[in-house]
Structure 1
Amino acid sequence: MAFVIRRDAGLYGYERALSRAGFTAVAGADEAGRGACAGPLVAAAVVLPARPLEGLNDSKKLTQRARERLYDLITAKALAWAAVRIEPAECDALGMHVANLEALRRAVARLDRRPDFVLTDGFPVDGFGVPTLAMWKGDAVAASVAAASIIAKVTRDRIMTAYAAEHPGYAFEVHKGYCTREHQAELDAQGPCAIHRMKWDNVARTVRLGRT
């Protein structure tokens, strides 16, 4: 299948082109937390309405306040949306690439409305049962992927903020489990907690050093 997207088509260009080609329920799928060494991997899928949502953009280009506002708007206006989480132990067991693929499949499968086309961010994902297109920086060029990136990001940030109360001392509410200098310092001092991904080199190193 071939379709043409004009460079000036804007964030909704792919969805409009797919609609003209007969695909009326286009889902975007994206994840948050792949690069973290603690906490779950969260994936989301969204089928947007035809009418554009004001302010929609790549989650990484938005402030926390803007993401929270758009989360509420997307969940209220989307034709369908879903978010799933893969816990650290399963991420370790599967490996992050396989876990990422599985999370995206689960998010799309959980949608209340079955999509007839799926857009994914970054790399191809099979197993959807419908046509799919992998897009480089999809969260910056396709509206449904941008919406999924916001749902995944806000969902995971809330999870990590809640974990900060359960596991004090790691500042999960600040770095959200990513491998920052602050996080590594606390990891070296205290060792890993229950939500760390034990297969990550920096986490495994603290175990070898006896920080458990």
Structure 2
Amino acid sequence: MPDGAQRSRPRFVIRRSSGLYGYERALQRAGFPLVAGADEAGRGACAGPLVAGAAILSDRASRQIEGLRDSKLLSAAQRERCYDEVVAKAVSWSVVVLPAGECDRLGMHVANVQALRRALHRLSVHPDYVLTDGFGVDGLGVPGLAVWKGDRVAACVAAASVLAKVTRDRIMADLHERWPEYDFATHKGYCTREHQERLDRHGPCPEHRRRFDNVVRAMRGPGDVRAVG
């Protein structure tokens, strides 16, 4: 349970009609004016980094992010526009990148929690309360709540998901230029059929995560000319 969550847990009700900013408004009424959200991108991918974003949004109507939603529900162009707005309008925001090798060393769950924690610690403004998508994060010194599908119900978490997703997609496009044979620009390192076919054909590159069973199988195959390094 996040630090202080039980001791300082506010009592509030979120109605469906409250909209995407309902969590922030309710927490502000409960005495937590600065609410941070955190989310990650790339947890389920077998190649590329894990990226975590964190954001504190302004409560001013003029600084709300128009069209903000869970990054997975936005087109690439919509994500880019929301990303620019979050960067311009947020009270504070941050992004943390954990390379594939660090994900292997830590294991995906630990890497996920650490990435979220690091992103929240890097905020230039200290939050009063933290909302995270799916996983609780301890060691923050403030109360927090893990929200199921938080990127669909809380604006600050949705903003964090956009920051993480856009950053990771840009990284995967750069990795595509280095290793075009895997077509990272298309599948972004996730375990699609096309990615698996290319992984089996060429063997893994240094950006593939060795903890994933499909990568281990490819390392054992005849095409594993890149398994070391």
TM range (shorter): over 0.9
Q: How far does residue 209 in structure 1 lie from its aligned partner after superposition?
A: 2.1
5 Å-filtered alignment, 1:1-212, equals 1=9, 2-50=11-59, 51=61, 52-212=64-224
Q: How far does residue 7 in structure 1 lie from its aligned partner after superposition?
A: 2.0
Work out the CA distance in 2 between the residues paired with 1:69 and 1:152.
Answer: 14
Provide the identity percentage: 63
SS in 2 for 1:82: strand
Work out the CA distance in 2 between the residues paired with 1:168 and 1:63.
Answer: 23
SS in 2 for 1:120: strand
Amino acid at match of 2:19: G
Q: Please give the per-residue CA displacement for 1:24-51, whole angstroms capped at 9, x wherever unaligned.
A: 1110000000000000000000000113
Work out the CA distance in 2 between the residues paired with 1:45 and 1:121.
Answer: 11
Q: Please give the per-residue CA displacement for 1:95-129, whole angstroms capped at 9, x wherever unaligned.
A: 10000000000000111111111000012111111
Q: How far does residue 210 in structure 1 lie from its aligned partner after superposition?
A: 3.9
Q: How far does residue 199 in structure 1 lie from its aligned partner after superposition?
A: 1.3
SS in 2 for 1:28: strand
* Unmatched runs of 5 consecutive residues or more in structure 2: 1-8, 225-229
SS in 2 for 1:15: helix
SS in 1 for 2:18: coil
SS in 1 for 2:53: strand
Moved over 3 A (4+): none
CA RMSD of aligned residues (A): 0.8
Work out the CA distance in 2 between the residues paired with 1:6 and 1:61.
Answer: 22
SS in 1 for 2:17: coil
* Unmatched runs of 5 consecutive residues or more in structure 1: none
Work out the CA distance in 2 between the residues paired with 1:207 and 1:56.
Answer: 41
